[in-house]
Homo-oligomer: A and B are copies of this chain.
Amino acid sequence: MYSVSELKSLFDTYVESQKFRDEPVNLFEPMNYILELGGKRLRPVIALMSFNIFCNEVEKALPMAFSLELFHNFTLAHDDIMDNADLRRGKPTMHAKYSVNTGILSGDAMMMYAFHYLNLSSSDDRIQRKLNSLFTRTAIEVCVGQQMDMDFESMQQVELDNYLLMIKYKTAVLLAGCLQTGAILSNAADSDADALYEFGINLGLAFQIQDDLLDLYSDHSFGKVRGGDILQNKKTYLYLTALEEADQVTKQKLLTLYQTKTLSDQDKVNEVENIFNQLNVKKLAEKAVQKYTEASFVQLNILSVSADRLKVLRSLAEELLQRTY
């Protein structure tokens, strides 16, 4: 079996070997730009890892993995326009470097190429059909997640359950889809493919809540602003838990804090954090991470493969979840 870094390296080499058309340059050059920004390439690596649980010929899964990476980058290109984000991994986003029109159209073209590579995934027509169906459903759900996220921005309060639904669609289904895609492509049993999907959903939820925790409680020695989510008035798991736990007076105080423009950044973060502490929010969020993590590992135990073949996946998951404060 391959290690994470071996899979990443196989994938990187494959991506470099692929060429889009040469013309029109203004359509394809931006696609190469955003792909070369690289990043962790977590999704394709996870898909390859899932495939590798059932089959050693990982190179067969490279077009499928590339399809998933293209899809992910398409969502980044369009989300960055919608979110007005000019930087990603310290570099200009696609629309910031080129133009909004480029962000839209080269984004669209990446989506089309995602389907192109998806169509090259399997020589077995039955498996190919399953992959297309899963991919399309996942893509629709990711759009739903992005819309929910945008809708939440203009709402004063959001139910915690709706927040979980949003992060499920916006983040977890793609992770889960990568895992299930790898399993389907390897011709694994449906029950195994389904268990890996559920593993991904729970892992994704745990990961996202962890992310919310880290924003406030991690050691921000690397230049990231502590409490950035609070300063952006983001409706995180912490904030929404606080609203659910608070009495009327505290709740009103928190709502007001999220609207205030008179406090310094530092004071605002501290005051919100005080309320969070009062309401035991950190503990509650940690419990949620724990719950979803356990639920994800339960799925791994269901799988009809030896524990040995799950080691790599298990340790990647642990690594993802144990990013320290």
Measuring CB to CB, which residues of chain A are less than 8 angstroms from any residue of chain B?
21, 23-24, 26-27, 78, 81-82, 100-101, 104-105, 108-109, 111-113, 115-116, 119, 125-126, 128-129, 132-133, 135-137, 139-140, 143-144, 146-148, 150-151
Contacts and interface: CB of A to CB of B under 8 A. Distances in A.
B150 A136 contact: no
A133 B112 CA distance: 11
B136 A119 contact: yes
Contacts of A125: 125-126, 128-129
Given A119-B133, A125-B128, A147 B26 contact: yes
A129 B140 contact: no
A135 B139 CA distance: 17
Given A101-B82, A108-B111, A119 B132 contact: yes
Given A26-B147, A116-B136, A129-B129, 17 more contacts: A24-B147, A24-B148, A24-B151, A27-B143, A78-B105, A82-B101, A109-B140, A109-B144, A109-B147, A112-B136, A112-B139, A112-B140, A112-B143, A115-B135, A115-B139, A119-B136, A125-B128
Provide the main secondary structure of the chain A interface.
Answer: helix
Contacts of A133: 119
A74 to B, nearest CB: 8
B150 A101 contact: yes
Nearest to A81: B104
A139 B27 CA distance: 14
A26 B155 CA distance: 13
A23 B144 CA distance: 8
Nearest to A111: B111
A136 B114 CA distance: 9
Contact of A147 (B105, B126, B128): B105
B147 A27 contact: yes
Contacts of A112: 136, 139-140, 143
Contact of A108 (B26, B78, B128): B78
Contacts of A78: 104-105, 108
15 contacts: A26-B151, A27-B147, A78-B105, A100-B100, A108-B111, A109-B140, A109-B144, A109-B147, A111-B111, A112-B139, A116-B137, A119-B136, A125-B125, A128-B132, A129-B129
A27 B151 CA distance: 10
Given A112-B136, A128-B125, A143 B81 contact: no
A146 B126 CA distance: 34
A139 B114 CA distance: 11
B116 A104 contact: no
A42 B73 CA distance: 33
Contacts of A24: 144, 147-148, 151
A147 B125 CA distance: 33
Nearest to A101: B82
